[in-house]
Structure 1
Amino acid sequence: MTDSIDPHALRRHRTGLALAAAGAVLFSAKAILAKFLFREGLDALDVMALRMLMALPLFVALGWRERHRGGAQALSRRDMGLILVLGVLGYYLSSLLDFWGLQYVPVSLERLILFLNPTFVLLLGVLAFGRRVARREWVAMAVSYAGVTLVFAENLRAQGDHLLFGSALVLLAAMSYALYLAMSGQLVKRIGSLRLVAYAMCVSTAATVLHYLLVRDPQHLLQLPANAYLLAVANAVLCTFLPVTFTMAAVARLGAATAAQLSVIGPVSLLFLGGWLLGEPITALQLLGTGVVLGGVWVLTRPGANSVPIAGEE
């Protein structure tokens, strides 16, 4: 009796699982590095500027490679205009709001709020595209928001009113990124996800540099502590470029639905990393709320569950 399991397929599947898990953890860990950079005297705009400038060469190289792949489509004027909008929404505005919010909220709460992205994409589908939503999806959304409310209330009790402002900023960041996802679906199918990400990151870098030049002296970025540059390089490479490439490689091996489900590792890992590296408290209510959110979002990211497909899904 021959073994019916294809060793190559099994190895490919396991590699995909490892890449998806690593991508989720690394992308979540940007919040940890941001907190360390804040301790070096930087603020949200400084962190954002260093991150984008140091990641730019990697994304330029990625965009060049994807552009010169066989069969790559030329960009129309409409495509270029949409890339400009997506770059501002998805990687400039969303990231800036996120880093700004991180100055006021613990990393575990930040990641949970961002993890609500599928619910925002779903709501955008209802409001903008008239999509119908199944009852279980409404229930899953209600469960997810109940979980975030639990974690928020626990943090509010421990940390005070500044948490309201920070949470609102992170919520706006999540909404901005959800809008990016909802608008990017057709463009992803035409030009590919990696090419779109590379181009959007270049647009975001230009927007960030313009913002910085309007409000700051660029010489400030050359006068930071040495440790800040090391942390910024780690943020750019380990928590920005690698998670994108790892996640796309995982999608190619597993499919978008399975890769999306594995993103639950991100909030869980950050809850414990925040406690270990930053000394943030971990309470029973936080654990319960995190579990409730993960359960609700898991329902929404199951195959066929989303009324508005996440960008990159076929």
Structure 2
Amino acid sequence: MSKTSGNKMILGYLVGALGASFFATKGILIKLALIENVDAITTLTWRMIIALPFFILIGYFGYRRRVAENDGPLLTAKSLLTVAAIGALGYYLASYLDFAGLTYISAQFDRLILLTYPIFVVLIGAIFQGRRLKPKMIIALFVSYGGLAVIFARDLQIDGQSTIIGGALVLGAALSYAIYQVLAKPHIDRIGARLFTSIAMTAAGLVVIAHFFLINDFSDLSLPPRAMMLMFAVATISTVIPAYLISISIGMVGPEPTAVIGNVSTLVTIGLAVTILGEDFTLWHAAGAAMVLIGVISFTQMDRRAKEAAARKMQMPS
């Protein structure tokens, strides 16, 4: 590897770590918004209102470039509606369940539950696509969810039913996002990640806004200055900026290294939750977090190696 290539790789890792760190602020900012009496749907609505213009603009220029490269239209009405529906599932349902779950559980526990979504992706593949799960992957799965069980048991003693409700909501968010990942892949391969994300985010944003106005008046969007600062932070620092930092990192070092680097978000969330929100971090939390991280990283690495082995096998001459 040349010095230039090595420097590019290091820069790509740093960009990925920075993007993951920005993503990690989401739970903290939502918790701070709850302290300001801003509920989950209002925070999610402001997040989309502020972020949508960025995604629409980037999507427009991305579409023009892709059309020029492909010498023809990329999207039919049917494919556009399909991508929009997938976006509503991935970004509306998953985000809403996640935001609602944060009302009941700590930012740390929320982040650790969401971290397990790649396991759901593989399990969906095993159930519907006949993919085999190796025994080591099953062990890693149990280690991850064993870690969650350790934290769940400890928090259940303190917070009771809130831990059950919040944990179930965020687990639903992780499952929704995993389904989104599975459904999104063929469309991303065809039209590109940037254009797909822009369409999906726009569709999800419109559904979020419609949801808000079904149960609220327009005047309910009016918030005090401190709360509005948090809304802008959730939309920019926790949404738009990290989304494109992660895209840049994927372009520089690839999706697998970026995904592994993304695990730093959990450590950042824990640090911010303890220092800013004053959340507890006991030996039980440390042990549970370590088990989740070890299990998820091991699981994703084994899944990557299995995919690479399958790809090599397909390329071998018969």
TM-score by length of 2: 0.92
Post-superposition offset of 1:306: 7.3
Q: Where does the alignment leave 5 or more consecutive residues of structure 1 unmatched?
A: 310-314
The alignment status of 1:20 with 2:19, answered yes or no, reads no
> Normalized per residue, which structure has more helix?
2
* CA-to-aligned-CA distance 1:65-102 (integer Å, 9 cap, x gap): 21111415511233212212211111101101100000
Cα pair 1:182 1:308 within 8 Å, conserved: no
Name the counterpart of 2:125.
125
2:216 maps to amino acid: R
Q: How does 1:73-152 map to 2 (within 5 A)?
A: 74-152=74-152
Residue 64 of structure 1: aligned partner: 60
Counterpart code for 2:231: A
Match of 1:218 in 2: 218
Output the CA distance in 2 between the equivalents of 1:174 and 1:308: 22
Letter in 2 for 1:94: A
Q: Distance in 2 between matches of 1:158 and 1:265?
A: 27
- Counterpart of 1:50? 46
For 1:11, the equivalent position in structure 2 comes to 7
* Deviation (angstroms), 1:133: 1.4
Q: Which moved more, 1:69-78 or 1:281-290?
A: 69-78
Q: Deviation string for 1:188-209 (max 9, x for gaps)? A: 1111111111111100111011
1:176-191 to structure 2, matched below 5 A, reads 176-191=176-191
Matched AA of 1:41? N
RMSD: 1.6
From the superposition, tell whether residues 169 and 304 of structure 1 become closer, same or farther in structure 2 (CA, over 3 Å): closer
1:278-313 per-residue CA deviation (whole Å, 9 max, x = no partner) reads 00001011111111111111112227537789xxxx
Unaligned runs of 5+ in 2: 309-318
SS in structure 2 opposite 1:282? coil
Asked if the contact 1:133–1:307 (Cα under 8 Å) also holds between the matched residues in 2, the reply is no
Judged with a 3 Å threshold, the aligned counterparts in structure 2 of structure 1 residues 307 and 40 are, in CA distance, closer, same or farther, namely farther
Structure 1 distance, partners of 2:210, 2:41, is 11
> Could you say what secondary structure the match of 1:105 adopts?
coil
Counterpart residue type for residue 71 of structure 1: E
Distance 2:98 2:159 in 1: 19
Residues 185-200 of structure 1 mapped to structure 2, 5 A cutoff? 185-200=185-200
Superposed displacement of residue 49, structure 1:
0.3
Moved more, 194-203 or 297-306: 297-306
- Aligned match of 2:159: 159
Instruction: Report the Cα distance in structure 1 between the residues aligned to 2:155 and 2:267, rounded to whole angstroms.
Output: 16
Amino acid at match of 1:83: V
Number of residue pairs matched by the alignment: 304
Residue of structure 1 equivalent to 2:35? 39
Once the two structures are TM-superposed, the CA of residue 184 in structure 1 deviates from its matched residue by 0.7
Report SS of the residue matched to 1:305.
Answer: helix
DSSP-derived class of the 2:304 partner: coil
Confirm or deny: 8 A CA contact 1:54 1:233 kept in the other structure: yes
- Please tell me whether the aligned partners of residues 299 and 305 of structure 1 are also in contact (alpha carbons under 8 angstroms): no
Residue 43 of structure 1 and its aligned partner are, at CA, apart by 0.4
Q: CA deviation at 1:110?
A: 0.1
Instruction: Say if 1:108 and 1:118 are closer, same or farther in 2 by CA, change over 3 A.
Output: same
Shift of the 22–238 alpha-carbon distance from structure 1 to 2, 3 Å rule, reads same
Mapped to 2, the partners of 1:88 and 1:194 lie a distance apart of 16
Return the offset for 1:271: 1.1
How far apart in 1 are the matches of 2:139 and 2:231? 40
In the alignment, the residues of structure 2 paired with residue 158 and residue 308 of structure 1 have an alpha-carbon distance, to the nearest angstrom, of 42
1:230 counterpart residue number: 229
User: Residue 137 of structure 2 contacts residue 302 of structure 2 at CA under 8 Å; is this kept in 1?
Assistant: no
What SS does structure 1 have at the residue aligned with 2:301? coil
Give the equivalent residue in structure 2 for 1:312. Answer: none
2:275 is aligned to 276
**TM-score normalized with structure 1 length:** 0.93
Deviation, 1:106, is 0.2
